[in-house]
Structure 1
């Protein structure tokens, strides 16, 4: 990757190298190239393109984020975008990009009142002209029923697929997830694996996790624990606490000796990290380790504490609604007085909850 760091005011500035570096997702170059489009330096002035570059750079480049947050810039941007659309001087992809950016302004309330219905209108116009990001936004709105659109998984999938087919790499993962879950399309593990692989090749850590899961379970591809471990480790090395699924997956491999030498101490360490990230399955697995004395000294009181944590772990956004196996284990503990006082009423209540969630 070319890391072109000279500011555009420098006499040695090379706009071609800056553009090449920006296209390689180097945030400082994206910011600099955005400045070129905003001020018309070396390129025709285009605030839509400037906006897009600042947006892409904003997570990793503070000046880009600060530029986006300036009220004066936001107002100037909206006026320019509306003038560009009404002036009828743009066509095709350029016009679609401007329309798409207007939709984003209405979504974020930049220079206009926040209005998701207006955002959807502009995204639909841009999508009709083939804008990939606009299709992604429409997919998002259909998936949640936002902006006056009905909640419609099939429509969401169709728009995600259009965006992915037009090269919007972030939707490679979205399409893979739809195929994996059967969300808006018939479940297809092989197609899910293919899209996850494309997303992984474009640096998506969530896709790395899914590839690890696919190789570990043999979903959509031949089972290969060695490759599963490689993908899980890639995520963990990046910063595993943000991806408890990878920690748990690697923990499972360590516990079973799949793709690595069996190591319960390592498995417990990984389960504990994932449990701290509020992953209910890892909380349950760590509880099992304490209950059975794998990698730690047997401690039924700690096992009960972790079972309760997993059983009561509810997060609608992550689709956590309590862990049924943890509930059943709690029932056993209360029924037999293991790690907690014997209590038939509590045992019956936990068994009933487990049966309700397993149904």
Structure 2
């Protein structure tokens, strides 16, 4: 079928809305008409990869309406409203133990470019393959093909343009707290980065009863929003020695920290910010060649722990966790709409620009 898609033709190049061909749903696939899609930092990170085959189609925070299902699909039927998350195999030890976010076949499923077993591609432009089904979706398009395992059915009365980012950014930030770190009420916690992921972690930490709740960023407007969303303290890293202030507030170092920037230097700061027995979750997406340094003696003396966390986090099942987040949203405990700025599909390059300069925390693209 013919669909509209925002294609990238070069690293860090502008996206161009083009007509492309999309294959019919194979067994286990679901065809979804996109209503809205969040723009995530990971989209920008991979767009900057010069080694990617072009053209490429990004987007992985899609929400929409099921139009068609492939053979064997039982979870949804045409007309159902859905959110989408990354693909997982359902068969490896990680999937079978309730950790699909760490599926052993994650890269093969989410970064294979939409290649089929017979060598063909699900997406084609002018007769040439498009690198697509990015992170299980490629939702910067009018329609996507997603695996049934990536689909989360939601009530038809829910606003898809508000909840679309739950598929990745909001889920990742909240899961770092609720599933990976699981802080005790009253624990001190610091979040580095007040973007969509970091502010989602902040809201989840407030739900968990953390106190003090510290947020570090360099953009004053984001720090103001952090205070509105529950931070007890904010630190402008452009004006203060963040580590010194954190140690003063916490009496030596935080019990928990979340790094949500994706910058190696900030990751190192987050590790340094820990107090005795502290744990840090690194959730920001750094480049493939990034590396982080830390002093092993300091880590040993503190008895500190460094964890990685993505998507639904440790022992997190998106099919159960995303509905839990929706319930928090209904209760007013996860007011994600305060982070969102909307863009029409033809404004997608404006959304990318505003995400880069920090003026938009969570851009959401509305499809026509």
Q: Same fold (TM over 0.5)?
A: no
TM-score (structure 1 length as normaliser):
0.24
Flag the structure with higher helix content: 1
Flag the structure with higher strand content: 2
Q: Could you say which structure has the greater relative contact order, defined with CA pairs below 8 angstroms and 6 or more residues apart?
A: 2
TM-score (structure 2 length as normaliser):
0.24
